[in-house]
A and B are shown apart, each in its own frame.
Chain A
Amino acid sequence: MTDLNDSELISLFRKSSSKHYAFNLIVRKYQERVYWHIRRILGSHSDADDVVQNTFIKAWEGLDNFREESKLFTWLYRIATNEALSFLKQKNRFKLVSVFGSGKELSESLTSDVYFDGDEIMLKLQKAIMSLPSKQRVVFTLKYFDEMKYEEISDILGTSVGALKASYHHAVRKIENYIGNH
């Protein structure tokens, strides 16, 4: 892990001689957080692996134009979220299933994922989370697992704080109902 802060990393990236080196440091610094964020949205490791790579490639292409108006981490999360949601959309289009119906399929795929070895209760909880509509799942995971403030989530998703609060509230209710009914 690097001791350099984000601004120093970005400055290093903008020098052509240290571009690759700096980007490698950025990837190493944020890869785990970005990966787990994507994994919680998608469930499957192989899908998350594809999307995390695409996320960093997009970051590589766009970092020269990054104006540092938001934190580097927030910017990366925004790319990761968009990539994950686009991935789901494409996958659902291919399967001719609507975005709103995708949660059920994702929750079922957990059972067959070799990189999931939670016990029965964990499986039930993950299925409950996966059964949420994709955008609501993003809000829930950012708030609950990443413990982000609504303002930060708003910056990532471009949604108002009020709407996010309502979305999170609905997500929690749905998870409770799912657990209660299964």
Chain B
Amino acid sequence: MVMKAKRNIDELLEALKDDSGFRVPSGYFDALSSRISDRISASGQSLSWKQRWILLPKQVMAYSLLAAGLILIGYIGYDLIHGHLPGNDLTEAHITEYISYQDVYFLDFELEELLMEVEEDKVYDADEEMEGIINYLDLNEVDLNALMNEF
């Protein structure tokens, strides 16, 4: 009885190989490859930044990486040579010390103006510190040579 039932199932399963009962729409396989091609073309037109990056020519990628590396090295090198430069923490004492170190003398009112700017929290950037002073003197038409001669 069990053997007979098993044989029936085997026969039924064997029949499924010839006809599973599954169907597809008419002409489905004729059109499938072109539908897939269309999707591939469409996805090629809307590549993500990641895919675009991968597809970039190797030379362009190499030059970009080289440029980024040089900028980074330059930045680190500059920072190492010039040290960490003061910003907001620039105090009146720093300025006075700097000026005396540079052996540059200001008239009292000029120094006062300069120190007022520091009090107003104006930031003197690393590069701009000396340049800022020179600009200040220039803008106020202070003759540096005359100043030096005077003192």
Contact = CB atoms under 8 A, between A and B. Distances in A.
Contacts of A158: none
B22 A116 contact: yes
Given A144-B13, A180-B5, A27 B36 contact: yes
Which 5 pairs from chain A and chain B are nearest by CB? Answer: A118-B21, A122-B21, A27-B33, A115-B23, A56-B36
Contact of A20 (B24, B32, B37): B37
Contacts of B40: 20, 23, 57, 60
A71 B33 CA distance: 21
Interface residues of B, number: 25
Q: Contact size class for A?
A: 20 to 34
Interface in A50-66: 52-53, 56-57, 60
Contact of A175 (B13, B32, B43): B13
Interface in A29-64: 31-32, 35-36, 39-40, 45, 49, 52-53, 56-57, 60
Interface of A: 20, 23-24, 27-28, 31-32, 35-36, 39-40, 45, 49, 52-53, 56-57, 60, 115-119, 121-123, 125-126, 144-145, 175-176, 179-180
Q: Which DSSP category, helix, strand, loop or mixed, fits chain B's interface?
A: helix
A40 B20 CA distance: 9
Interface in B22-68: 22-25, 28-29, 32-33, 35-37, 39-40, 43
Q: Which DSSP category, helix, strand, loop or mixed, fits chain A's interface?
A: helix
A52 B32 contact: yes
Contacts of A180: 5
Contacts of B22: 36, 39-40, 45, 115-116, 118, 126
Given A125-B13, A175-B13, A180-B5, A45 B36 contact: no
Contacts of B37: 20, 23-24, 27
A125 B36 contact: no
B16 interface: yes
